[in-house]
Chains A and B, each alone.
Chain A
Amino acid sequence: MDLDKFKVHGEPLIYGAMVSIALATIGILVGLTYFKKWGYLWREWLTTVDHKKIGVMYILAALLMLFRGGVDAMMMRLQTAAPEMKFLDAQHYNEVFTTHGLIMILFMAMPFIIGLMNVIIPLQIGARDVAFPRLNAVSFWLFFMGAMLLNISFVIGGSPDAGWSAYFPLASLEFSPTVGNNYYSLALQISGIGTLITGVNFIVTILKMRAPGMKLMKMPMFTWSVLITNVIIVFAFPVLTVALALMMFDRLFGSQFFTMANGGMDMLWANLFWVWGHPEVYIVILPAFGIYSEIIATFSKKNLYGYTSMVFSMLIISLLSFLVWAHHFYTMGQGAMVNSFFSITTMAIAVPTGVKIFNWLFTLRKGRITFTTPMLYTLAFIPIFTIGGVTGVMLAMASADYQYHNTMFLVAHFHYVLIPGAVFAVIAGFHYWFPKVFGFRLNERLGKHSFWWIVISFNVTFFPLFFLGLMGMTRRTYTYSEESGFGPLNMLSFVGAVGLAIGFLLLVYNIYWSTRYMPRDTTSDPWDGRTLEWATHSPMPVYNFAIVPTVQTRDALWSAKQDNIPLYDDKKITKIHMPSNTGKPFILGVIFFILGFSLVFSLWIPAILSGIGVIVMLAFMSFDRDHGYYISAEEVIATEKKLKRGETV
């Protein structure tokens, strides 16, 4: 075996990272042992099947990844801040922009949304759990292990370096000989399987486990957006599965899918990647629309304007999202007919999106608006996202795209769509639903400080990039000359990036500060909410609802509060069935990690052994006869009494 390929050479920054990773790992291990928290960690978190805890773990992992991806972003902005910078070399820069894209979309935005979805969806539809709680844990651990696999790449063997879209032949073994793109194919594959399982799980949960009376057109908007998102996941992710498998075959076994000789076809990769990749954009954006709809209705104290058109616009967007993939490569020689078709379908997406924007504005009209932190993010989202949308229409015009193609204009556009469209939304949702999960609010003053830092710095960072793009600065350029004149705007963008970093650090400080000092919330409905999640205690008991609520109207809790409609049709509490904890999903995740790692380095014997391990674990899970346990009625009544007195359980 060639030990040399595990090493990354000649980068002081990476050696520094290695040392800090090692120290942090040792610190965590020692800390856990010293404070005797191993048992707690295992019992309460690693083996949990509770959708709320799984959601919290998703969100924690996503926050960690936000900082990992953020450090990548800072390094890029620093490297391009001035002409002829010598901070990173070309190869390292390639790796940094590749992992920045991958991590932010697949290991930050998506898990953050899946985390919120895990915490909130069962509560919002009045269910006690998701349809398949253990499978839910499997999903989480596969996502987590995939994320870890990608993260170790930069210290062991080298990161992927062909861009997040990994175009062939650039990503082939010939032009990218390090193991980086092996990591790409395997880390994404493992976490992608987890995402697909989540998709199946939540479709069943939403369609089959809603509270009595909650017809489809009475579902809260966030639930609708999540349902549609999961349908997209189920149809789009298998394409990624295939594309990544073919990539792995090409790189590890020498097959000829994307080669330039022997009948391979590089454009096949571009098509497969974007047939998944474009719907992926909507997988992260549609739930954000749902979150904003909830927040706008709550803080305007009004019903959402145009509920039906909101639902239909999301359905149309989800359909169109599958018909636009080739707009990602207008310039790769596909002919005028094809470009026209994709140009028109792409522009058509602006129509349902515009409908949504106007619905939000009409909801605000004559509303009694309170400017809380989540509401501020929502209000900032509308104009910023509109800029992103309008520049998107500019890019959608195939002929004009020959001008902006692959320039910083494109980089500015998608950050103007994805940051307000996904990042603001998850932060808003995080502030909004935080008291539900933990029983206290985040500090509003700190929240607003961090909001202004983030929103202003965001514009300072990315607005200059539109002009840099129009001036001709191509993206993924690692350095440029003084004469190009790109210097000043890039410096401005770097200053903005520092501001963004401060904003996100304030957000984390807010979590720490609020955990220590914020008063506990005794009402369990701190925002005067409209939907069912606010009808149970905060933090909620493991069974969510002691009695399953009955729904009569769209905003069930709101009308219950306004018109005195009872949410519960009887006072009889009965025993509740719950699934028991299991360590098998975690162990399965670990085995998948070993499998992925072995394949990355073509270590066939451990790969075969862990492959068998996966099958054995699946068999173990199938033979498991644990059907969960019951919480007795007396116990439920006692818990409810305690929670009503404001005690924690």
Chain B
Amino acid sequence: MKIDASKPLEYSTEENSNKIFGFWVFLGAEIPLFATLFTVYFVMVNRFASGPSASELFKIGPVLIETFLLLSSSFTIGLAIHAMRHGYKKAMMVFMAITLLMGLGFIGIEIDEFFTYVHEGATLQTSGFLSSLFVLLGTHGAHVSFGFLWGAGIMIQLWRHGITPATANKAFIFSLFWHFLDVVWIFIFSFVYLKGLM
């Protein structure tokens, strides 16, 4: 494989730059996916039948912690990529570990929140509003959970093989994914929670 030393490691082969471009196209497909879920949610938001409405259900506390964790983890994955560009394997691993732990914290709080809702009698089956809420949040949460497993897998590969064109490429693509989830969360935070609490 030809390695172009003038480019960053993650872009250094033709295969690598194709993969990054391909992942951008994939993220292009994730936009209509989440856009559709948001549309479904906006259609459903006032159709709460006999169940609770958004303002009755949402509490700001856990959501703020979730937001803090996810936004900070987007920053730390940026630091991990920065460390990778300088070839600091250890620092990179530490930042990735922090990122994933914050992701895990996010998932934990979300699961706890779901349990609280269900405990209060607000389930997937209760109303159109709740169905759309659970599926929108759940899809984002499933992405974060998948991201956790994916990131852990990449860490193992980094630990075994070091920062190579292949592992750098994977880590970089993972960081794109993680940032994307952050962007989606900003929309959820603003248009689901803040708007719902109003």
- By a beta-carbon cutoff of 8 Å, the part of chain A in contact with chain B is 131-132, 196, 199-201, 203-204, 207-209, 234-239, 241-243, 245-246, 249-250, 253-257, 259, 261-265, 268, 272, 275, 577, 615, 619, 622-623, 625, 627
Determine how close the nearest CB of chain A comes to the CB of B149; give it in whole angstroms.
Answer: 7
With A203-B25, A275-B36 already in contact, 15 other A-B pairs whose C-beta atoms are closer than 8 Å: A132-B22, A196-B29, A199-B25, A200-B25, A238-B33, A243-B36, A245-B135, A249-B124, A264-B128, A268-B44, A619-B149, A622-B154, A622-B157, A623-B156, A625-B166
Can you list 5 contacts pairing A with B, beta carbon distance less than 8 Å? A263-B47, A263-B127, A265-B128, A622-B150, A627-B166
**Are A238 and B36 CB-contacts (below 8 A) given A257-B131, A263-B49, A623-B157?**
yes
Contact (Cβ within 8 A) A253 B25: no
Q: Which A residues are CB-close (under 8 A) to B51?
A: 262-263
B135 in complex: contacting residue of A236, A249, A268, CB < 8 Å: A249
Task: Assess the B21–A257 pair: CB atoms within 8 A.
Answer: no
A-B contact count (CB 8 A): 122
The answer, among A132, A203, A234, A253, for a CB contact under 8 Å with B124, is: A253
Residues of B near A237 (CB, < 8 A) are: 29
| B72 to A: closest C-beta gap in Å | 26
Q: Is the CB of B18 within 8 A of A619?
A: no
Give complex CA distance A208, B15 in Å: 10
B153 at the interface (CB under 8 A from A): yes
- Taking the closest CB of chain B, its distance from the CB of A194, in whole angstroms, is 13
**Identity of the chain B residue whose Cβ is nearest the Cβ of A258 in the assembled complex:** B128
Asked whether, in the complex, the Cβ of B126 is within 8 Å of the Cβ of A234, the reply is no
CA distance A268 to B149 in the complex (A): 34
Closest to A132 in B: B22
B62 at the interface (CB under 8 A from A): no
Q: Give B151-173 interface residues, CB cut-off 8 Å to A.
A: 153-154, 156-157, 166, 170
Contact across chains for A241 and B33 when beta carbons are under 8 A apart: yes
Structural contact, A204 and B25, CB atoms closer than 8 A: yes
Contacts of B130 in A (CB 8 A): 256
- B124: chain A residues at CB < 8 Å are 249, 253-255
User: Which B residues are CB-close (under 8 A) to A249?
Assistant: 124, 131, 135
A234 near B28: Cβ-Cβ < 8 Å:
yes
4 closest cross-chain pairs (CB), A and B: A263-B128, A263-B47, A238-B33, A255-B131
Q: Smallest distance from the beta carbon of B49 to chain A beta carbons, Å?
A: 4
Cα(A268)–Cα(B128), bound, Å: 11
Known: A199-B29, A204-B25, A242-B37. A253 touches B44 (CB 8 A): no
Residue of A131, A196, A615 ringed by the most chain B CB atoms within 10 A: A131
- Contact between A627 and B1 (Cβ–Cβ < 8 Å)? yes
- Chain A nearest CB: distance from B145 CB in Å? 10
Chain A minimum-CB-distance residue to B31: A238
Q: A263, B48: Cβ atoms under 8 Å?
A: yes
List the B residue with the shortest CB-CB distance to A627: B1
B43 lies within 8 A of A268 (CB): yes
Q: Which residue of B lies closest to A237 (CB)?
A: B29
B112 at the interface (CB under 8 A from A): no
Contact with A along B26-49 (1 / 0, CB 8 A): 101111110011001001100111
Contacting residues, chain A, for B1 (C-beta < 8 A): 577, 627
Pairwise interchain contact A256-B49, C-beta atoms closer than 8 A = yes
Q: Give the complex CA separation of A297 and B129 in angstroms.
A: 55
In the complex where A200-B29, A255-B135, A257-B131 touch, is A265 in contact with B49 (Cβ < 8 A)? Answer: no
Q: In the complex, what residue of chain B is closest to A628 when comparing beta carbons?
A: B1
**CB-nearest residue of chain A to B21:** A204
Which of A246, A253, A256, A272 has the most CB atoms of chain B within a 10 A radius of its CB? A256
- Residue pair A256, B125 in contact (C-beta under 8 Å): yes
List residues of chain A with CB within 8 A of the CB of B170: 622
Residue of B nearest to A245 (CB): B135
Beta-carbon nearest neighbor of A250 in chain B: B131
The answer on a CB contact under 8 Å between B128 and A131 is no
Q: Is the CB of B125 within 8 A of A253?
A: yes
Task: Quote the shortest CB–CB distance from B134 to chain A (angstroms).
Answer: 8
Q: How far is the CB of A135 from chain B (nearest CB, A)?
A: 8
- B-side contacts of A259, CB under 8 Å: 128
Q: Which of A234, A257, A619 contacts B40 (CB 8 A)?
A: A257
CB-defined contacts of A196 to chain B, threshold 8 Å: 29
Q: Would you give the shortest CB distance from B25 to chain A, in whole angstroms?
A: 5
Contact across chains for A246 and B44 when beta carbons are under 8 A apart: no
Q: Within 8 Å of chain A (Cβ to Cβ): is B132?
A: yes
Question: Inside 8 A of B31's CB, which chain A residues have their CB?
Answer: 238
B:42-100 near A, CB below 8 Å: 43-44, 47-51
Given contacts A256-B126, A265-B44, contact A207 B21 (CB under 8 A): yes
CA A264 – CA B129 in complex, angstroms?
Answer: 8
Say how far A322's CB is from chain B's closest CB, in angstroms: 10
How far does the Cβ of B11 sit from chain A's closest Cβ, in whole Å?
12
- Complex contacts, A242 vs chain B, CB 8 Å: 33, 36-37, 40
Contacts of B166 in A (CB 8 A): 625, 627
State the CA gap A243–B32 with chains docked (Å): 12
B22→A256 contact, CB < 8 A: no
Residues of chain B lying within 8 A (CB to CB) of residue A625: 166
Contact assessment for B18 and A204 in the assembled complex, using a CB-CB cutoff below 8 Å:
yes
Query: B56 CB to closest chain A CB, in angstroms?
Result: 15
Please give, as numbers and ranges, the residues of chain A lying within 8 Å of B26 by CB-CB distance.
Answer: 200
- B40→A132 contact, CB < 8 A: no
Residues of A within 8 A of B32 (CB): 235-236, 238-239
B149 adjacent to A615 (CB under 8 Å): yes
Distance of A63 Cα from B135 Cα, bound (Å): 38
Q: B36 near A255 (CB under 8 angstroms)?
A: no
CA distance A344 to B154 in the complex (A): 51
- Among B22, B33, B124, B156, the one with the most A-chain Cβ atoms within 10 Å of its Cβ is B22
User: C-beta contact mask, B97-140 vs A, less than 8 Å → 1, else 0?
Assistant: 00000000000000000000000000011111111101100000
CA distance A356 to B47 in the complex (A): 46
- Give bound CA distance, A625 to B30, whole Å: 28
Q: Contact between A263 and B25 (Cβ–Cβ < 8 Å)?
A: no
B84 to chain A, nearest CB (A): 17
With a CB–CB cut-off of 8 A, which chain B residues contact A619? Answer: 149, 153
Chain B residue at minimal CB-CB distance from A267: B43
B128–A235 contact, CB under 8 A? no
Which of B31, B48, B125, B134 has the most chain A CB within a 10 Å cutoff?
B125
Instruction: Give the distance in Å from the alpha carbon of A275 to the alpha carbon of B50 in the complex.
Output: 30
Cα–Cα, bound, A241→B157 (Å): 31
A237–B31 CA distance with the chains assembled, in angstroms? 11
Which residues of B have CB within 8 Å of A577?
Answer: 1
Which residue of A has the minimal Cβ distance to B37? A242
In the assembly, what is the distance between CA of A93 and CA of B180, in Å?
46
Complex CA gap A201/B21 in Å reads 10
Residues of A contacting B18 in the complex (Cβ-Cβ under 8 angstroms):
131-132, 204, 208-209
A265 touches B33 (CB 8 A): no
Contact between chains at B22 and A254 (CB < 8 Å): no
Compute how far the CA of A209 lies from the CA of B30 in the bound complex, rounded to whole angstroms.
24
**CB contact between B126 and one of A131, A201, A262 (< 8 Å): that residue:** A262
CA distance A249 to B133 in the complex (A): 13
Q: Verify B22–A201 contact, CB threshold 8 A.
A: yes
Which residues on the A side are within 8 Å of B30 (C-beta)? Answer: 238
The answer to whether residues A131 and B22 also contact, given A577-B1, A623-B157 and a CB cut-off of 8 A, is: yes
| Chain B min CB distance to A584 (Å) | 15
List residues of chain B with CB within 8 A of the CB of A234: 25, 28-29
Q: Determine the residue in chain A with the shortest Cβ distance to B30.
A: A238
Taking the nearest CB of chain B, how far is it from the CB of A127, in angstroms? Answer: 11
A255 with B22: CB separation less than 8 A: no
When C-beta atoms are compared, the residue in chain B nearest to A201 turns out to be B22
B residues near A272, Cβ cutoff 8 Å: 36, 40
CB distance from B46 to the nearest CB of A (A): 8
- A619–B149 Cα distance when bound, in Å, is 9
